[in-house]
Amino acid sequence: MAEDDLRKSHDELEAINRQLEEAHNQLLQSEKMASIGQLAAGVAHEINNPIGYVYSNLGTLEKYVQDVFSMIDSYEQAEGMIADQEMRNQLQEARKKLDIAFLKEDLRALMSESKDGITRVKNIVQNLKDFSHVDTTDEWHFADLRMGLDSTLNIVNNEIKYKADVVREYGDIPDVECLPSQLNQVFMNLLVNAAHAIEERGTITVRTGQQGDEVWVEVADTGKGIAPENLKRIFDPFFTTKPVGKGTGLGLSLSFGIMRKHNGRIEVQSEAGKGTAFTLWLPVKHQVQE
C-alpha cells in the first residue's frame, strides 16, 4: 500500500516537474523572441531615417539630371550655328568620347533601379516593424491575419524561396482579436517548418477561412510528411528530427502555447511522403479566461 502511495506521489511529482519545465522553456523562448523583436525593431528604426532621405534625394536628383540633359539638348541644337569648324569638331569628338547618348539611356536605368532598390529596403523595414509590432504594445486587438501572414511571408521569404513556391488562397475573414506579433511567431514557425520539410522543390499553400465564430489559417506543404509515431510528439518541447544547429524543437511547443493563450487550437494532418498541413483555429473574439 505504502509503496503504491509512494509511486503515485512520485508520478504526480514527475508530471508537475514536466509542466514546470515546459512553462520554463516557453518563458525562455518568448524572452528570446521578444529580444529578437526588439533588436529588429531598433535596426528598422535606425535604417528608416537614412533610407527616407536617400529616397527623397533620388527623386530630386532625377529631376536635376533631366534638367541638365535638356540643357545639353539645347546646346546640341545650337551646335550647327557654330561657325568655327575646329570648335565643331572638338564638340563632336567630346560627344563621341563621353558617349552622351548611352549615358542618357543608362542614367535612366540606373535611377529607376536605385529607386526600386530603396523601395524594397523600405518595404523590408516596414515588414520588420509590422512583424515586431513596435508601433503597438503587445495588447489584444482586432487584426487582419492576412496582413500578418503577408508580412511574415516577406520576412521568411529568404529562407523559403529556394525551396518552395508560395501560393496564397486567402478566403474572406473578419478581424480577429489577438496578440498579432505572437501569431506572427506562429506563422513563422509553421512556414519555416514547411520549407524545411521540402527536400527538392515544392509548394507551400497558405489558406484562410471562417467557420462559425472561428477563423482558420492553414499552412500546407508538399514536403516529406511526419511519421505516424512522431505525430504525438511534435508539440513536445525539444522534440526535433533535425540535426543539431538546425532545429531546437521549440517552434511547435511555443506555437501550441500561443494558440492556447488565444483559446484556439492547432491541428495537424500529415501523410508520409505527401506533405503536411497545420491548421490554426482562432475564436474571432477573445474570451478572457477565469
Ligand X SMILES: Nc1ncnc2c1ncn2[C@@H]1O[C@H](COP(=O)(O)OP(=O)(O)O)[C@@H](O)[C@H]1O
In the list 10, 45, 63, 242, the residue contacting ligand X (rule: CB under 6 A) is 242
Collapse the DSSP code of 274 into the 3-class scheme (helix H, G, I; strand E, B; otherwise coil) and give the result. Answer: coil
Residue nearest to ligand X according to CB distances in the complex: 251
In the list 221, 258, 266, 286, the residue contacting ligand X (rule: CB under 6 A) is 221
Report the site for ligand X in 30-69 (rule: CB under 6 A).
none
In the list 241, 263, 269, 279, the residue contacting ligand X (rule: CB under 6 A) is 241
The cell for 68 is: 541638365
Q: Is 193 in the site for ligand X (CB under 6 A)?
A: yes
Between the alpha carbon of residue 217 and those of residues 132, 148, 187, the distances in Å are 20, 11, 9
In the list 154, 210, 248, 263, the residue contacting ligand X (rule: CB under 6 A) is 248
Report the site for Mg ion in 189-228 (rule: CB under 5 A).
193
Nearer to ligand X (CB atom), residue 55 or residue 281: 281
In the list 148, 180, 223, 257, the residue contacting ligand X (rule: CB under 6 A) is 223
Alpha carbon distance 8, 5 (integer Å): 5
Nearer to Mg ion (CB atom), residue 202 or residue 251: 251
Count of residues making up the chain = 290
Report the site for Mg ion in 241-260 (rule: CB under 5 A).
251
Nearer to ligand X (CB atom), residue 210 or residue 248: 248
> Residue 145 binds which one of Mg ion, ligand X, none, with CB within 5 to 8 A depending on kind?
none
CB of 130 vs ligand X, minimal distance in Å? 23
Count of H-run helices and E-run strands, the chain:
7, 7
Helix (H) or strand (E) holding 29: helix 2-78
Q: Which of 279, 149, 257, 120 is nearest to 210 (CA)?
A: 279
> ∠ at Cα 46 (45, 47), nearest 5°?
90
Long-range interactions of 66-75: CB distance < 8 A, separation 24+: 69/104, 69/107, 72/100
> Residue 248 binds which one of Mg ion, ligand X, none, with CB within 5 to 8 A depending on kind?
ligand X
CB of 240 vs ligand X, minimal distance in Å? 3
Provide CB contacts within 8 A for 138, sequence distance 6+. 179, 181, 182
Alpha carbon distance 264, 91 (integer Å): 76
Binding residues vs Mg ion (CB under 5 A): 193, 251
Binding residues vs ligand X (CB under 6 A): 189, 193-194, 197, 221, 223, 225-226, 234, 239-242, 247-253, 276
